[in-house]
Amino acid sequence: WLSKKIYRRPVSIAQLRQRLIDLGVTPGRTLWVQSSWNEFYNVPLRPSEMIGLLRDLLGPTGTLAMPAFPIDPDPDKLFLVDKAPVYTGLLCEVFRRSPDTSRSIHLSSSVCAVGPNADFLIRDHHLTLMPWGKDSPFCRLGEVDARMLGIGAGFNFMTPLHTAECLLFDEIPVF
């Protein structure tokens, strides 16, 4: 409520497009997006239009990835990778349902991706010991020099940051 009162200046789609370009959302890039659609109220876009804008900016050689953590991570239930809804937000759920989007097989921390790097990012996630460790999509984002973008979500919500914890697990006692 308070944020809507403070940040009430509308942002045009053209302004948003230019800001995204300025931030490095450019053709051929791999982009990780985390969002809170409830906090993204200054731009007159639907979630599907936002995904379309991002894919347009990345072009056919770019890859878009988002978290797709299942709502019900019960190991006693069958995980239907193509049907299980996500709890990581409206934008992520709309992206999960988008044509050509693939999802990693991981009960607690799956990832959806589309584009040339999608298979590389998600293909071995089910084999990882830790959700964010070696061979996870989160670790592989670094290997493809991906950029992270928070839409309505601040820096604290960037899940790939857990990769450092997993990679240092055996080296530093605090982890």
pLDDT of 56 reads: 98
pLDDT of 76 reads: 84
The pTM for the full model equals: 0.88
Strand arrangement of the beta sheet that strand 102-103 belongs to: 102-103, 111-114, 63-67, 30-35, 147-151
Query: Residue 170: how many CB atoms within 10 A of its CB?
Result: 8
pLDDT per 10-residue tile (average), the chain, 175 residues: 68 94 97 86 90 98 95 80 87 95 92 98 92 90 93 68 75 71
